[in-house]
Structure 1
Amino acid sequence: MNSVFTRFSTVAVLIFLATLSRILPHPFNFTPIGAIALFGAAQFSRKVYAFMIPMVAMLLSDVLIGSPSLPTYVSFVIISAFGLFFLKKVTYGRVVVASLVASISFFLITNFFVWFQGSMYPQTWAGLVACYTAGLAFYQQTFWGNLFLNTVMGDFFYNAVLFGSYYGIQRLTFKPSMA
């Protein structure tokens, strides 16, 4: 079988499966969004797919969920772009750092949009600081846990599942033959 096709389909299927997990019951903010962006960026050999496949997967799940969000898509694209550069060489340490960067970026980008598009905060530096400060309330404990920590844990969990599954499949599929 063509190994390029197998690699592409393996990555695409893992991304679609992770995306489907968005429709299952889960703690708030414990989602695969950041991990999908990083995994696609690290694994697709044609980098246009690093943006296209995860974006299509998100659009499909948003049709079911009914809550598309421009800030989420913008953060998704920025996290993918970061992953393209940072995860050229995939190591455990780089995936951990990229997961943290993805979680923090999501927080910064989505709260920036709240400030920029909304009327809750003045369009000044002080207003932006107030918006981010109010966003820190997501660090507070809630019924489902700490919402920002849920984002970090979701990114760690889904990166472990995606990267781990991919490398496990690759090892099983492309074992050197003993001749």
Structure 2
Amino acid sequence: MTTEKINPRFAVLAIFMLAVAAMRIPNAAQLTPWANFTPIGAMGLFGGTYFTKQWKAILFPLLTLFASDLMIQAFIFNGKYGIMYSGWYWIYGIFIFITFIGKWLIKKVTVKNVLLAAVTASLTHWLLADFTVWGGGGTDLRTMLPLSRDWAGLQQCYIQGFPFMRNFLAGTLVYSGIMFGAFEWMKVKNTSLQLNAV
């Protein structure tokens, strides 16, 4: 009987993704001082960069996001919002787009490329996610009434979402620095982690 050898590069990438996804839980439980200081952006960029097969670059980060979302909904919010939060499919679509940003902008892992991708991913998340909030009838936090269905309402949605984008950007930069830096260092130390079609 033969057993298939586990690819060490894939195993390490998977462990990185799972470990960082688990870091979403303290943020969701408000154990950290910054709302939306999340590794989601870094997870998408990391997966898009290092998994060479496109389906793995999308599917594995998506599965880790899904698993951590289920845990957060079940154990942090005690099912208050059901199995998944409202509009989750939009966030997942944006997350898939972020994996493509990792694939497109980080052909070679350098500080400049990772910074550019992190900023692009954060701005993309802000613009698209807040547009869906406005489109879905989000609340104007000044009046606690629905946002107006015009340019002023969309502007207000982006303005009130800006602090969350700033924290999302900070989280993406910090977690990207840790993930990309650690994996690149490990690649130097262990040649089995070099590129071999995972």
Tell me the TM-score range normalised by the shorter chain.
0.7 to 0.9
Report the Cα offset of residue 3 of structure 1: 10
Report the Cα offset of residue 13 of structure 1: 1.2
* Whole-Å separation in 2 of the counterparts to 1:4 and 1:168: 21
Moved over 3 A (4+): 122-127
**Alignment TM-score, normalising by the size of structure 2:** 0.75
Match of 2:166 among 145, 149, 153: 149
Report the Cα offset of residue 77 of structure 1: 1.2
Q: RMSD across aligned C-alpha pairs, in angstroms?
A: 2.2
Report the Cα offset of residue 36 of structure 1: 0.4
Report the Cα offset of residue 15 of structure 1: 0.7
Percent identity reads 30
Provide, for residues 125-173 of structure 1, a one-character-per-residue CA deviation record: whole Å limited to 9, x for no partner.
443233223334x2xxxxxxxx433222111110011111111221222
Q: Which runs of 5+ in 1 are unaligned?
A: 139-146
* Whole-Å separation in 1 of the counterparts to 2:159 and 2:121: 19
AA in 1 matched with 2:90: P
Q: Which residue of 1 aligns with 2:13?
A: 11
**Alignment TM-score, normalising by the size of structure 1:** 0.82
Aligned length: 165
Q: Which residue of 2 aligns with 1:90?
A: 109
User: In the alignment, does 2:56 pair up with 1:54?
Assistant: no
Report the Cα offset of residue 81 of structure 1: 1.5
Contact 2:147 2:153 (8 Å CA) reproduced: yes
Match of 1:43 among 29, 44, 50: 50
Report the Cα offset of residue 42 of structure 1: 0.5
Q: Which residue of 2 aligns with 1:99?
A: 118
SS in 2 for 1:72: helix
SS in 1 for 2:23: helix
SS in 1 for 2:128: helix
Which structure has greater helix proportion?
Answer: 1
* Whole-Å separation in 1 of the counterparts to 2:108 and 2:132: 32
* Whole-Å separation in 1 of the counterparts to 2:120 and 2:62: 19
More displaced stretch, 79-88 vs 52-61 = 79-88
Q: Which runs of 5+ in 2 are unaligned?
A: 74-83, 139-145, 193-198
